[in-house]
Amino acid sequence: MVPDEQLILWFDELSIDDIPLVGGKNASLGEMYRVLTPKGVRIPNGFAITAAAYRFFLYQAGIGEQMKSILKGLDVHNMRQLAERGRKVRELIQHAEFPDELHTAIAEAYHELCKEYGANTDVAVRSSATAEDLPDASFAGQQETFLNIRGVDDLMEACRRCFSSLFTNRAIAYREEKKFDHFKVYLSIGVQKMVRSDRACSGVLFTLDTETGFSDVVFVTSSYGLGENIVQGAVNPDEYFVHKQTLKQGYRPIIKKVLGEKSIKMIYTDEGTKTTKNVDTPLNDRKKFSLTDDEVLELASWGCIIEDHYTHKKKHWSPMDIEWAKDGITDKLFIVQARPETVQSRKNRSIIEEYVLKQKGALLCNGKSVGSKIAASVAQVIKDAKDIEKFTPGNILVTEMTDPDWVPIMRVAKAIVTNRGGRTCHAAIVSRELGIPCVVGTNDATEKIKQGQKVTVSCAEGEDGNVYAGLLKFEKHVMDASRLAKPKTKIMMNVGNPDEAFELSFIPNDGVGLAREEFIINNSIKIHPMALLHFNKLDANVKAQIELLTRGYADKAQFFVDKLAEGVATIAAAFYPKDVIVRMSDFKSNEYAGLIGGSHFEPKEDNPMIGWRGASRYYKPGYEEGFALECKAMKKVRDEMGLTNVKIMIPFCRTITEGRNVLSVMAKHGLVRHKNGLEVYVMCEIPSNVILADRFCELFDGFSIGSNDLTQLTLGVDRDSELVADVYDERNDAVKTLIAHAIKVCKGKHRKIGICGQAPSDYPEFAQFLVKHGIDSISLNPDSVMRTIPKILQMER
């Protein structure tokens, strides 16, 4: 159910420090429940025990002075001392008796809940400290939550343990670090009817990208069973990214889906004193997503509603960290908690940090990257929390997973590597707050990394976080984008890797001048499109490889469409609503043959560089079916996801007839030029494109100069041959004469013309030449944008 405005406001009251005391400081606690339910507000599915009750509990128990005495002079960096004194304070609270008035108030509230849901109804007992979720101190995960609690006696015990969890070792250390007085932080408790996600699924969603702070996506994680496993990092969950702007326009923009392992799930149990237990997830369930697309979109919509509410209330952007659950009995979705995101939202996006790995070592293991930094140090493998006092500050922590008990040593680690967990697990959240690199979900880090081994942890290579043997060299570059003026010439970027798109969007830009399909096909799909279309004709070995990659897909060709669409959509969403020019596939036949199943469908050519490539493939029988899949992917991105900032570009189009043939095939598969605002560009990379520029202008909406191939074909040089490498030069007068002519013709025909070749990135003086001739846009490699812009500004002046 969508939380309504009134409920959201009530949760605001529960979470802040000025919850009203019960009838004044000296009032009877018999009024507690009435005050916990503000007039005119019905708290659905539960009740709350305020911070006033906690203060009254400590006062009546008379243990306050003893607690202060135990904590006096504590050194939180002494793990043994911290553990011993923390245990003593918790035991004091856990052995204290509830005042009769408070016991009665809680029991009466629980019995009222049971009238609606049945005797001994199952509840979650959730803590909420008054100092939680502040802009500079989130306190996330510091206190305890207890699930599937039944009956008054167990409820009282859970409340007592909740109160004592205000003094867990990690909470004590955190307050000391943040300079909070232990006795001016109070705890309230929310008692909620359980959502039966033990029979369905649950997870966490953030209303931004947790790794980069990119604001225009909702990031949803999901796994089977109760949500504690995702929060604790015990499972590698499914992941989904949804684009906010086009979601709000009514489209279905799930721009990325990643199938998680979901190896275990937490369910109810009545074994002994346990209330929950973990069991293995059935293999068939692991192989499929735990949410439907409709459910993902519904959760994302709720995330936007909640974010918009708090943004309006606080008068500044307020991204949210939200827990959700699906009831397996009713099949309904519920929001169970919402708190502010306190790490990425506080960063200055004008300051661009870039970490660059300058060496490569042996890859020990990899998982999901958290952040974008690099660290090198000695690995220390710790498999049990009882051994955390052995950790040496400055080392790299390698472990199965973390929970809040590990926070004291996480604070002094140089990086963290875990076997389990996803990007919303405990290790990931704490690492972001600490600003250290973290790799989660490696599965085998504790086995592959040896105790005392020197390693480098790299989160600077996109979505994959890698752990290498050795102390590798790396560099850190810091740039201030706010100091750069904006040129009149559009500065676009060449982007191939979707995993880098969100981060790259913060570099000053006017969009993407070249988004290559090849990177997505090579890295995300890996299979020749014709092999997917003709799967039944393949040999057993190739079929087995394809089955492994396309699990969950009965229609193998749809796998190609979906994955290509996701990659393109991620780039398009990162730069929305700026133009993103997507070049259709331009593999050579020998490169296509390297894809899985590719050798069955590709000819052997003596000179693939000027052979069957680009436009020539799209309308011929040997590949037209494959090109149709590319068209379907682009149509999905534009029409289903609403990312109409995507423009399509045709590479290596040799003749006017070829151009017409390609446009005809595109139209047959739903991509009609100018329908739904579709613009189609052509690469200007063959001398014929320049010589017949006026006629190509009649077919296409714009040109993008490919200086690499244009240089090769103008000078008759094989750009891959070291024997004639000294002749290959984009700055040659013949090449520059052709480029100047192409710009002149396009300007006269009112067609857009830019350049996406390597030359402007390598040679700033070449970029100045282009500006002099009035080019509309220059698309640069991301790492050269900041150094090239000043030279373009100088030329414009």
The active-site residue out of 201, 243, 309, 426 is 426
Catalytic annotation present for 600: no
Contacts of 701 (CB under 8 A, 6+ apart): 647, 673, 679, 680, 681, 751, 752
Q: Burial, 62: exposed, middle or buried (Cβ in 10 Å; 0-12, 13-18, 19+)? A: exposed
CB 316 within 8 A of CB 345: no
Going by DSSP bridges, is the β-strand pair 415-418/351-357 parallel, antiparallel, or unpaired? unpaired
Q: What is the DSSP string of 651-719?
A: ----SHHHHHHHHHHHHHTT--TTGGG--EEEEE-SHHHHHTHHHHHHH-SEEEE-HHHHHHHHHT--T
DSSP for residue 451: T
407, two tokens? 């926070």
What is the separation of C-alpha 621 from the centre of its chain, rounded to a whole number of angstroms? 40
Q: State the SS3 of 64-95.
A: HHHHHHHHCCCCCCCHHHHHHHHHHHHHHHHC
Report the distance separating Cα 420 and Cα 367, nearest Å. Answer: 9
User: From residue 582, how far is each of 585, 648, 682 by CA, in Å?
Assistant: 9, 5, 11
Report which of 742, 731, 738, 741 is spatially closest to residue 769, judged by C-alpha positions.
731
Going by DSSP bridges, is the β-strand pair 374-381/396-399 parallel, antiparallel, or unpaired? parallel
The active-site residue out of 159, 631, 697, 756 is 756
Report the distance separating Cα 439 and Cα 459, nearest Å. Answer: 7
Where is 191: in which H helix or E strand? Answer: strand 187-193
CB 224 within 8 A of CB 285: yes
Report the distance separating Cα 601 and Cα 592, nearest Å. Answer: 9
CB 514 within 8 A of CB 536: no
Residue with tokens 């600003």: 435
Report the distance separating Cα 67 and Cα 55, nearest Å. Answer: 13
CB 468 within 8 A of CB 360: yes
Catalytic annotation present for 426: yes
Which residues are catalytically annotated? 426, 756
